[in-house]
Structure 1
Amino acid sequence: MHSEHPDDTQHLNHKLNLETARIHWHELQTHFARGMVIWVAAELDLVNIAHLIATDNSAAIALLMHEGKLAPVSTAQAQQFWQHNTALWAVVVAPWVLVQSIEIAH
């Protein structure tokens, strides 16, 4: 883990925000087939998680994985997403594509 200058952090967060978009599951199939799609729990901030991965914060990533809040998309999840062509939030942190459910406020 390394420390970042605040301006670098802001720039990276801005870049990740701009690159975050809604996408339907069918468009992610090739990435899933290569094992490159990572599920981010709904209670987490997708951009913050992308930042952790982009800056190689392995301790924080390992903790989130241990807690079950960050994991490769399972075959069962993928099948469900495929059936409904689920829309998800996504951001690329090469080679990974991070995805998260789109929560609808009531």
Structure 2
Amino acid sequence: MTSPDTPQSPSQSPLYAKLLGETAKIGWSELERFFARGMLLRVARDLDLVSVAEAIANDETEQVTQWLASGLVERVQANTAADFAARDPELWAVVVSPWVCVQERG
């Protein structure tokens, strides 16, 4: 299921389309086990969640490294996890094994 406000790329790759179709709204309680394993990546709101997942899947090291260095993509930290648990915000996620990329919306 995709978000109605998900931006549509004019030249979507087959992988982008596949990942978009696998992106879904999810509750924090369903993500906690991935956080506990250190496999949960938070994607900043101003990035396209699916584009980030596609870059990770395609091993676009330079781009992913830039996002990590700037804090636009990061492993979910304990304080963020506690905040998500307390607020239960609207989260969207997509799996790019072994990672689960998550983004807060709304």
TM interval, shorter chain, is: 0.7 to 0.9
From 15, 21, 25, the equivalent of 1:22 is 25
Return the alpha-carbon distance in structure 1 between the equivalents of residues 44 and 27 of structure 2: 17
* Pairing 1:55–2:95 present: no
5 Å-filtered alignment, 1:23-102, equals 23-102=26-105
Alignment-mate amino acid for residue 62 of structure 1: T
Residue ranges of structure 1 left out of the alignment (5+ in a row): 1-8
Return the alpha-carbon distance in structure 1 between the equivalents of residues 43 and 75 of structure 2: 9
Return the alpha-carbon distance in structure 2 between the equivalents of residues 63 and 85 of structure 1: 29
Q: How high is the sequence identity, in percent, across the aligned residues?
A: 42
Asked which structure has the greater CA Rg, the reply is 1
Return the alpha-carbon distance in structure 2 between the equivalents of residues 77 and 45 of structure 1: 20
Over residues 27-77 of structure 1, what are the superposed CA-to-partner deviations in whole Å (9 max), with x where a residue is unaligned? Answer: 111111000000000000001000000000011000111111000001000
Q: CA deviation at 1:83?
A: 1.2
Query: Secondary structure of 2:13's partner?
Result: helix
Residue ranges of structure 2 left out of the alignment (5+ in a row): 1-11
Paired residues, what number? 95
RMSD value, Cα: 1.0
Q: CA deviation at 1:87?
A: 2.5
Query: Secondary structure of 1:44's partner?
Result: coil
Q: CA deviation at 1:11?
A: 1.1
